[in-house]
Amino acid sequence: MAAMKLALVLTIAAVCTAAAAAATSPKVEHTAAGTKAAQASLLRIGDFGSGWTSSSATGSAGLNFACPGFTPKQNDVVEIGTATSPTFKASTIGPIVAQRTSVYANIASTAKLWRRAVKPKLIDCVAQSLEALRGRGVSVAITSQDRISLGSIGDGVVGYRVVATLSGRSRLKTFYDVIVVRGGSSITQLTISQFQKAVPLKSEIALAKTAARRMGAGGPVA
């Protein structure tokens, strides 16, 4: 039961990665075509093995790469669509996977945002999204944070891993990975977490490649 409750708050952490000061957010001018493109990028339950379950998507806010201490300029970029996947879960200890996509007005502005946002300090935003669980009564002790190597995916990819101990009624070592992929006019974020041990890199790469293809980058659409 304690692991189940911590899994729930870890799911909330995945949602929190999009939260940041509105003043630094992209301009929002959503269109039907932009929303459709964002929805088309999302993972589906069929992308996972047997035994996985999904719960309804929470919220529909787009990506925001700002956090305290890191505020790349974003307000000259126009976001035309967003979508959030259900939360996919293999068991109470994970893996737990969620995805969020933003579509922008054109490829040039997407590339410009990528250059500004994908900096070494972006990992601090990943760590802060996990630390935000303290506000929900969970003790968070971060032990490491680093880049993860994913090779070449889509039009650009970056991955981060934060390892921490979460404590509520029990103490669980947590591996919290955030993968950001660019494809065409879209950027998508995959949040992949698990207690006790890291999710195999091969599995994370496969999910990132599927998302890239659905954004129109990296091979035939699945």
Interacting residues of 62 by C-beta distance below 8 A, sequence separation 6+: 18, 25, 26, 28, 79, 82, 100, 102
Q: How far apart are CA 54 and CA 42, in angstroms?
A: 13
Q: What is the pTM of this model?
A: 0.90
Query: Structural domains in the chain?
Result: 2-214 (3.40.1000)
Q: Partners of 51 in the beta sheet?
A: none
Structure tokens at 126: 């990943």
Q: What is the H or E stretch that residue 207 is in?
A: helix 201-214
Best CA proximity match to 155, nearest among 105, 99, 199, 112: 112
Report which secondary-structure segment, H or E, holds 72: none
What's the pLDDT at 1?
A: 38
CA distance 130 to 57: 19
Residue-wise pLDDT for 68-117, tens only, equals 899 999 999 999 999 999 999 999 888 999 999 999 999 999 999 999 99
The parts of the chain modelled with pLDDT lower than 70 are 1-23, 58-59, 218-222
DSSP code per residue over 122-177: HHHHHHHHHHGGGGGT-EEEEEEEEEE-----TTEEEEEEEEEEEESSSEEEEEEE
| Closest-CA residue to 153 (of 219, 84, 65, 222) | 219
The pLDDT of residue 172 is 86
Radius of gyration of the chain (CA): 16
For position 4, what pLDDT does the model report? 47
